[in-house]
Amino acid sequence: MNFERPVNEPKRDPGAVAGGSVSRRTFLKVSAVAGGGLLLSFLLPRMIGSRDIAGATTAEQFAPNAFIRMGRDGRVTLIMPYVEMGQGTYTSIPMLIAEELEVDLAQVSLEAAPPDERHYANSIFHIQATGGSTSVRASWEPLRRAGATARIMLLSAAAKTWKVDPSSCRARKGEVIHVPSGRRLAYGALVDRAAKSPMPSHVVLKDPKDFTLIGTSAKRLDSPDKVNGKAQFSIDIKIPGMKIATVAACPVFGGRLVAVDESKAKKIEGVHQVVRLDHAVAVIADHMWAAKQGLAALDIEWDEGLNATLSTSDIVQQLEAALLRPGVIARKDGDVAKVMAGAAQKVEAVYQMPFLAHATMEPVNCTVHVRKDGCDVWVGSQVLARAQAAVAEVTGLPLEKIRVHNQLLGGGFGRRLEVDFITLAAQIAKQVEGPVKVVWTREEDIQHDVYRPYYYDRMAAGLDDKGMPVAWSHRSTGSSVYARWHPPAFKDGLDPDVLEGAAKPPPPYALPHMLMEYVRQEPPGIPTGFWRGVGPTHNVFVVESFIDELATAAKKDPVEYRRALLGPSPRAKAVLDLAAEKAGWGQSLPEGHGRGVSVQFVFGSYVAQIAEVQVAKNGEVRVTRVVCAVDCGVVVNPDTVKAQMEGGIIFGLTAALFSEITFKNGRVEQSNFNDYRIMRINEAPAIEVYLVESAEAPGGIGEPGTSAVAPALTNAIFAATGKRIRKLPVTRVE
């Protein structure tokens, strides 16, 4: 067994070495002086996720910026500012750089960026985070620029060597060619000189029509190790002397540990230690089996605290009440009250969406080794810098003493934007000699998640005599995840999740008189968090269900009705037309079948979906087909976009059909896949994804598939049965 472990030294701040703030120029000098050892020093010398490939670590290197390193052997190492959790960033991000750097993907190896907000902050969140379908959007310009900068420096290095005019040189497939003479130099031979050449004053990016890599379905770089069991997720980490722990937090949120009788647990072979925390107990053992049995054998007494009697209905009542309070105005166009009053017809509806758990396939886990002088953390996190800070806080060690080794994520969906489990693991590790891997059971993972909030919305619209909406009012209430997760983003009672798809950007329709209000109402004691699709899973369901209800009220075809309102948004209209055509909208269906449509503009992408369902006599809903049309601007990797849409649709259907987290006596009632149900292959529809050619800046693709499908589904159920579903999930068991 191979216990080789990567180690990344604490990062030294190049700015500090250079004495002053870091301009690209000084940064480059520093790298040159230190021969790149500087950057190299704080990177994992291996390709994340594989036990075999150790990255190039040749001494002298060319490191023009925080994303690229090149060794004399010509080997190119790209530093990934985003984490791979299935969405394909480890392929699309390298494509951006390699396109401009003029290297083959086959020539590059990848390394995960260390915690370092200065260089790796997401230009949309301004913190080092992977999520919100932002990776490609945030990198589109900067990372191509990073590649182009390096290319230009290599060109001028070659020109110097040959004493020719740089403009007579071209870069191709890791070589510089002097066109007139046909002389060639491999990048590797140029790194030393390149490292000393000046930073280009201005950088011209390729014209999209010259792209050779972007736009192709390049093979995913992380797949091969994922089909043979080699890929290493954080749950697979092995450290010499490592113990394995599993944890039980107080079943009631906000409860406290009173006492534990560990006598029975200690008798179990392989159990070493029982760790007591303020609100949790962990059993430290040789293996998970002993840890699990040890936990089961504990006699634990909890003080269940304030939420001991909390149930879902209490929370819903609070939301109902909140909905009566005037909200913060998120958008106000025209004069809704007046126009509503004069409307020929008024339509109203209330929608509810349940709490949801993430249930990433890899249960949350984290391995921590606390020592007097430092601490190592092995984890799959969407927020590296936060992970580092969380452990620093628990251990009281300075930031630079915390070494975070990020791993492949067995699913993120927003769960790994949180550090609660990292904090808990560190608190446990603090009381344990040597490294300890803390693994959550599935039950614990589902019952101590941060939950997609319960949302409660009231919609009202006034229609003119032709049935078209003249006034639109939307009042929404629920928890604000941002207010806790990133307070600066929660301004004046609003956050981006509240707005996206409902107010900013608004629904893509012509709605001259519209009002969107939000009433923040936090569920007592229940932690809420981001969940694939974030705000739009909520807003798009409400808006697209309601538009469908308006079409019904107007006795118009749902597609026609939407088309008529999409004047202001030709791109939205285009995806709608494409989806309708491919789905054969309007063609007749057998008894009990129905089609439903949804259109959205969120995450910077336009998506239209048409779902086809069959509803049996016994009420069973079967989704037979989903057609999805996408305009996400320039497509970096078409196959990845398709895969993300397919996956997003299944994810969204699972939630819409089956998922809800409910509370009773302050406890989560669901526990595992037997009662928190995930769609299976025999329930999955056929899915067709069509991409629209576009030169616009790229939009997100990780989440739009999920947010679009729920209303398409419920609208299809309405078409099949005349039953309007305003409360998810569809198949709730009373």
Partner 1 sequence: MKGVSRRHRFVLLVLSIIAAVSGCIVRPDGPTDFAGGTRVALADYRGSDPTGAPPSVAGADLAARGEYLARAADCIGCHTTPLGKPFAGGRAFALPVGTLYSTNITPDKETGIGEWTDDEFVQAMHEGIGRNGRRLYPAFPYPAYTLLAREDVLSIKAYLFSLKPVRHVPPDNAMWFPFNQRYLMWFWDVLYNPAQRFQPNIDRAPAWNRGAYLVEALGHCGECHTPRTLLQGLDARKKFGGEMIEGWKAYNMTSDRESGIGAWSDDELADYLSRGHAEGRSTAAGPMGLVLNNSLRFLTGDDIRAMVVYLKTVPPIHEQGDLAVVQARPAATSPQVGMKGPHDSASNDGDLGLRMFEGACASCHHWNGSGAQTPYADLLGNRTVNDPTGVNLTQVILHGSSLEFPQGNMFMPAFGRAYSDAEIAAVANYVTGRFGARASTLTPDQVAKRRKAK
Partner 2 sequence: MLTLHINGEDYDVNVPEDMPLLWVLRDVLGMTGTKFGCGIAQCGICTVHVDGQPMRSCVLPVGSVRGNKVVTIEAIGRTPIGAKVQKAWLDLEVVQCGYCQPGQIMCAAALLAATPQPDDADINAAMSSAICRCGTYVRIRAAIKQAAQPSS
Task: List contacts with partner 1 (CB under 8 A).
Answer: 293, 616-620, 658, 665, 669-670, 672, 674-677, 680, 682-683, 731, 733
Among 511, 513, 508, which residue's Cα sits nearest to residue 569? 508
- Which is it for strands 469-478 and 513-520: parallel, antiparallel or unpaired? parallel
Residue 616: CB minimum distance to partner 2, A: 17
Cα angle 318, 442, 257; round to 5: 65
Whole-angstrom distance, CA of residue 656 vs CA of residue 677: 11
Compute the least distance from the CB of residue 43 to partner 2, in Å: 23
- The yes or no reply on residue 679 touching partner 2 (CB under 8 A) is yes
Residues 639-668 vs partner 2: string with x where CB under 8 A? x---x--xxxxxx--x--------------
Site membership for ligand FES, residue 204 (CB under 6 A): no
Using rule CB under 6 A, residue 86 touches ligand FES: yes
| DSSP per-residue string spanning 491-548 | BTTB-HHHHTTTTSS--SS--SEEEEEEEE-PPTT--B---TTHHHHHHHHHHHHHHH
CB of 540 to partner 2, least distance (A): 18
Is residue 524 within 8 Å of 441, Cβ to Cβ?
no
Query: Token match 């995840």: residue?
Result: 481
Closer CB to partner 1, 430 or 622, in the complex: 622
The interface mask with ligand FES, positions 355-384, x = CB under 6 A, is: ------x-----------------------
**Going by DSSP bridges, is the β-strand pair 280-285/271-276 parallel, antiparallel, or unpaired?**
antiparallel
**Is 414 a binder of partner 2 (CB under 8 A)?**
no
Residue from 40, 244, 387, 657 touching partner 2 (CB under 8 A): that is 244
Nearer to ligand FES, 86 or 254 (CB): 86
If DSSP states are collapsed to H, E and C, what string results for 543-562?
HHHHHHHHHHHCCCCHHHHH
Cα dihedral 408→413→415→417 (10° resolution): 80
Does 88 sit near ligand FES (CB under 6 A)?
A: no
Name the residue with the smallest CB distance to ligand FES.
361
Q: Where are the beta strands (DSSP E) in 399-463?
A: 402-406, 436-439, 455-463
Quick one: what does residue 665 bind among partner 2, partner 1, ligand FES, none, with the CB cut-off 5 to 8 Å set by partner type?
A: partner 1
How would you classify residue 537: left for phi > 0, otherwise alpha for psi between -120 and 50, otherwise beta? alpha
User: Phi/psi of residue 106, each to 5°?
Assistant: -65, -25
Site string for ligand FES, 111-150 (x = CB under 6 A): ----------------------------------------
Instruction: For residue 427, give Cα distances in angstroms to 233, 257, 282, 369.
Output: 22, 15, 10, 11
Which one among 298, 574, 684, 727 touches partner 2, defined by CB under 8 A?
A: 684
Interface with partner 2 in residues 256-315 (CB under 8 A): 269, 286-289, 292
Least Cβ distance, residue 87 to partner 2 (angstroms): 7
- What stretch of H or E contains 186? strand 183-186
CA atoms lying within 13 Å on the CB side of residue 484: 20
Which of residues 8 and 659 has its CB atom nearest to partner 1 in the complex? 659
> Per-residue string for binding with ligand FES, 391-430, x by CB under 6 A?
--------------------x-------------------
Identify which of residues 86 and 685 has a Cβ nearer to ligand FES in the complex. 86
- Amino acid letter for position 722: G
Q: Does 232 bind partner 2 (CB under 8 A)?
A: yes
Q: Phi, psi (5° rounding) for residue 125? A: -85, -25
Is 236 an interacting residue with respect to partner 2 (CB under 8 A)?
Answer: yes
Write down the residue that tokens 């089609």 correspond to. 595
Which partner from the list partner 2, partner 1, ligand FES, none does 617 bind, CB cut-off 5 to 8 Å by kind? partner 1
Question: Interface with partner 2 includes 680 (CB under 8 A)?
Answer: yes
**Residues binding ligand FES (CB under 6 A):** 86, 361, 411
**What residue ranges bind partner 2 (CB under 8 A)?**
1, 84-88, 217, 219-220, 222-224, 226-233, 235-236, 238, 244, 269, 286-289, 292, 359-363, 408-413, 439, 441-442, 639, 643, 646-651, 654, 672-674, 678-684, 686-687
